[in-house]
Amino acid sequence: TYTPAELTQLTRGYALYTYRRDTSGNGPLMEYLAEMIKSRMVAFTAIEIVDVLPACQTLFPDDTELFDMLTERIKETINDYSALNLIGLVRTFARREIEKKETNQGYPVREILIPRLKEALERYDTAEVCDIIVAIADSAATDKTVGMDLPIMQSVLPELEHRLDDLGETIPLVSHISIAWALARLGIYHEEYLDRLAKILHEKEHLRNDITPRYLVRLLWIYSKCDALEKIVEDVVPVLEGSVGYMGPAQFARLAQCSEQMAKVKDIIDVQSIVNRLGDRLCSELVVGIEDNVTNVSKMSTADACYILLGLIESGTIEKNVDRPEDADGNFAAWMRDGSRLGRLLAYVHKFQDEFEASEIQKIIKVLHVARNGEYRGYLDLLPASWESQKKDMIHRISKKREVEEKFMLEEAKKERREKGFLKRVFGL
């Protein structure tokens, strides 16, 4: 007989395995595991419930009996959960709602968890509440499901707003930027908070001048996403111009994402010119030593190459109509002969093609395939031959996803037409 701790570890392990591989043939094993969890439910502690609940949602989303038992156990152990524990539970039940797997006990348990979460947050200091908001945004970015966090933010945001008067004195500027960054990533436009942050930047020049390139670019991205650049642009222009020489690939990619919005303030600063110079410098640094074949290493990583590609595409500074050189096979320098940014990038890609992680290859293929409505799709043929299988697999997955989305939109349109027809027949509308 397994203990609850051992069952929790097994369930989490199988959930990770299921996420990465097809486990359709493991039905009997999963059924046995679910029955074991049910048989030992009364012995599960609060921490074990927090750990096992998301894994159960992955492995057994349709097992209503299991989730009813988990719900009852949560009610029995409700006094043993911290604020972070409660956040984890609320996210999982929100995920069940999103995936249409909610049981008839789901909403009552949410009604218990949310008030408990509000009470627990009151015992946290301001810095801890800010850290929670940043952690929520990181989780949303990882699982791509912002909807899971909306019930939590309904509790956390009021707590943040109650403490706005304390934030200017107790929280450093980088933490202010991190909070605004988290809210923007969650799609939350908090005008009062943006105004307070802009006021700090305007009034405290010494803090403004100490912003590192990483946080400066984040700041620009936040206000660009919220369409509020006019609040800070005049204050940060001198800092931006002095920081360009210290920016790396990640900052380049993020700044490039802002370039379209920043075109609205081009009378104050020409960010397109900055992005153009920065992209050219980084592409040159990418291939240092490759031209003379004097090195098998680069000071730039494969992740840096991915950032540079994204930045070039987002800013529209990547060249078009670049062809494969006739002597390109095994000759990395041939790609650089035309002096183009794309050529230098491809020289690096071909030189270090075996160093790229599978996830990085997938990102490159996806960006080239979908960016700007497929404008750069032809460049997929310029990628290394050793990536061919990944390319075919990724394109197939993108196509299947598009088919599913189109089918969903078609079904929604049919449903809307049926509803309109019903209203017209019954009510004459």
Domain with 295, as residue range(s), is 262-400
In this structure, are residues 194 and 226 in contact, taking their beta carbons and an 8 Å threshold? yes
pLDDT for 422: 47
pTM across the whole model: 0.76
State the CB neighbour count (10 A cutoff) for residue 342.
21
Distance CA 82, CA 327 (A): 63
For residue 100, tell me if it sits in a domain.
Answer: no
| 395 to 65, 144, 370, 371, 402: CA distances (angstroms) | 39, 20, 10, 13, 11
Residue 153 tokens, joined? 């933010």
In this structure, are residues 283 and 344 in contact, taking their beta carbons and an 8 Å threshold? yes
For residue 371, tell me if it sits in a domain.
Answer: yes
| 226 to 123, 178, 180, 404: CA distances (angstroms) | 31, 15, 10, 30
pLDDT for 407: 77
| 227 to 217, 237, 397: CA distances (angstroms) | 15, 17, 33
HSE-up (13 A, CA, CB side) for residue 312 = 25
Q: What's 65-127 look like in SS3?
A: HHHHHHHHHHHHCHHHCCHHHHHHHHHHHHHHHHCCCCCCCHHHHHHHHHHHHHHHHCCCCHH
pLDDT for 421: 58
pLDDT band at 11; cut points 50, 70, 90: very high
pLDDT for 26: 60
pLDDT band at 176; cut points 50, 70, 90: confident
Q: What is the dihedral of CA 244, 245, 246, 252, to 10 degrees?
A: 50
HSE-up (13 A, CA, CB side) for residue 302 = 16
Distance CA 18, CA 27 (A): 12
Distance CA 238, CA 234 (A): 8
Greater confidence, 140 or 239? Answer: 239
pLDDT band at 20; cut points 50, 70, 90: very low
pLDDT for 231: 92
Q: What type of residue sits at position 385?
A: A
For residue 118, tell me if it sits in a domain.
Answer: no
For residue 197, tell me if it sits in a domain.
Answer: no
Residue 418 tokens, joined? 């049926």
For residue 419, tell me if it sits in a domain.
Answer: no
pLDDT for 34: 93
Residue 255 tokens, joined? 């700044």
Identify the weakest region by mean pLDDT among 57-61, 159-163, 342-346: 159-163
At 186-215, the pLDDT tens digits run: 888 888 889 989 988 888 888 788 899 999
pLDDT for 328: 73
pLDDT for 100: 63
Distance CA 148, CA 74 (A): 19
Domain total for the chain?
1
Mean pLDDT of 335-343: 84
At 59-114, the pLDDT tens digits run: 888 888 999 899 999 999 999 998 889 988 888 888 787 666 554 445 556 778 88
For residue 167, tell me if it sits in a domain.
Answer: no
Residue 258 tokens, joined? 């802002």
For residue 331, tell me if it sits in a domain.
Answer: yes
Residue 244 tokens, joined? 């360009």
At 286-326, the pLDDT tens digits run: 888 776 555 566 778 999 999 999 999 999 888 887 778 87
pLDDT for 198: 92
pLDDT band at 339; cut points 50, 70, 90: confident
For residue 320, tell me if it sits in a domain.
Answer: yes
State the CB neighbour count (10 A cutoff) for residue 182.
23
pLDDT for 25: 47
| 110 to 47, 100, 102, 119, 279: CA distances (angstroms) | 18, 15, 11, 14, 48
| 28 to 6, 68, 105: CA distances (angstroms) | 19, 21, 27
pLDDT for 5: 95
